[in-house]
Structure 1
Amino acid sequence: MTLYYSLVFALLVFEMALFMALIIPMPFTAKRKLFTFISGSPLIAKLQYGMKITFIFILILFIDSVNRVYRVQVELAAAKNQGGAAGAVAGSERMEVQARKFYSQRNMYLCGFTLFLSLILNRTYMMILDVLRLEEEVKRLRGDKPAGDKSQTKLAEAGEIGEIGKLKEELKKRDRDIETLKSQSKGLSDEYSRLGDQFHVSDGTPKKSV
């Protein structure tokens, strides 16, 4: 196995170990801290960028291995068409072609499984992040909040109680103002009625001037 295919095999083993680490059951708090660190670390971001470039090269190797397998299949078909005329020489050549076919297929499977597992890892990582976000949302809706959130909730409730008290005082003050306006309106109405009666009386029996 050449050096670059050995590196591909090492990457495949690393992906398998990483996949096992992702699916291991962990406490919610520890998992949330771990994935928060992974998603926010600049070193991990650079590593992911380098891995994307590496997978591009692996894709090129996969295409090359597929091409090699196809060419070996063509050579094997040509050797079968020759028949037994070539004798032992044709048999040795066919063994060589079979060996090249085996190595080409091995390289194709190695690169293919490495690329396929990279897609699975990416999708698994995104699904775990979604699950963590949904679990936090469920805890928030159920009211399972940390101590800091509870203290903030109590402060908010105390502020709301203070606002309600102020509104009640303003309502009482407005009720008193309305009662005052009612009494003033009633006094003005009585005074108007009294002046109207006096006007009618004075109009019906006018006083004589001396």
Structure 2
Amino acid sequence: MTLYYSLVFALLMFEMVVFVSLIIPMPFDLKRKLFIFISENPLVAKLQYGLKITFIFILILFVDSVNRVYRVQVELTQAKNQGGAAVQVAGSERMEVQARKFYSQRNMYLCGFTLFLSLILNRTYMMITDILRLEQEVKILKGEKPANDEAAAKIGEAGKLNEIGTLKKKLAEKDRDIENLKKQAKGLNDEYQRLGDQVAGQDGTPKKSK
């Protein structure tokens, strides 16, 4: 196994350890502190940024391994079509092709599972964050005072960002509707004043004597 595929394998083992640590049962307060540490630690943020770049390279390796598997399969098909004395000559070559097929498939599965597990980890982290926020809200609704109000606020902050953004959009839409209503009301008021002045002018016009 080459160096970069060895690194991919090490990353896969690291992802498995992280996944197990995320789903392992632990007390609520301990899990909350762990996720607060993950979300606020600058070193963890830098590590996540580096992993994103690493996954891009792993994706390139995955595409390359799929291409190699396809080419090896084509070579095997051509070798099977050979007959007679050519089979004895091409025996060692077919063994070499079979070996290259095995290594190509191994690399494809290794890169594919690493990328797939990264998606699972990201989704699992988001789901657990939402669960912790909901559990904290349930405790508050039941009247249980949280052990650390600041920590609870930090846990719920990530989940409330989307709600705040939605409320801001709705508030902006309401403001636009109010402005439109004000313009319509002003226009109606001006028209009413104009018609009133016109009617008053017509009533106050002296009639001509015969």
> TM exceeds 0.5?
yes
- CA deviation vs aligned residue, 1:74-104 (integer Å, no higher than 9, x gap): 0001111112331322111110000000000
1:145 partner SS? coil
- CA deviation vs aligned residue, 1:99-125 (integer Å, no higher than 9, x gap): 000000000000000000000011100
2:41 aligned partner: 41
Structure 2 unmatched runs, 5+: 150-210
1:120 aligned partner: 120
- Report the CA distance between 1:147 and its aligned residue: 7.2
2:178 aligned partner: none
- Report the CA distance between 1:8 and its aligned residue: 0.4
- Report the CA distance between 1:146 and its aligned residue: 3.8
1:162 aligned partner: none
Q: Is 1:8 matched up with 2:1?
A: no
- What is the CA–CA distance in structure 2 between the aligned matches of 1:148 and 1:127, rounded to whole Å? 22
Compared CA separation, residues 96 and 144, structure 1 to 2 (3 A):
same
- What is the CA–CA distance in structure 2 between the aligned matches of 1:80 and 1:147, rounded to whole Å? 71
2:51 aligned partner: 51
- What is the CA–CA distance in structure 2 between the aligned matches of 1:32 and 1:84, rounded to whole Å? 70
Contact residue 61 and residue 111 of structure 2 kept, 8 A = yes
Structure 1 stretch displaced more, 97-106 or 38-47:
38-47
- What is the CA–CA distance in structure 2 between the aligned matches of 1:145 and 1:84, rounded to whole Å? 84
1:135 aligned partner: 135
- What is the CA–CA distance in structure 2 between the aligned matches of 1:54 and 1:44, rounded to whole Å? 15
- What is the CA–CA distance in structure 2 between the aligned matches of 1:148 and 1:26, rounded to whole Å? 18
Of all paired residues, the percent bearing the same amino acid is 84
- What is the CA–CA distance in structure 1 between the aligned matches of 2:147 and 2:87, rounded to whole Å? 86
Q: Supply the AA of the counterpart residue of 2:126.
A: M
Provide TM-score, normalisation by structure 1. Answer: 0.69
CA RMSD, Structure 1 to Structure 2 (Å) = 1.3
1:62 aligned partner: 62
Provide TM-score, normalisation by structure 2. Answer: 0.69
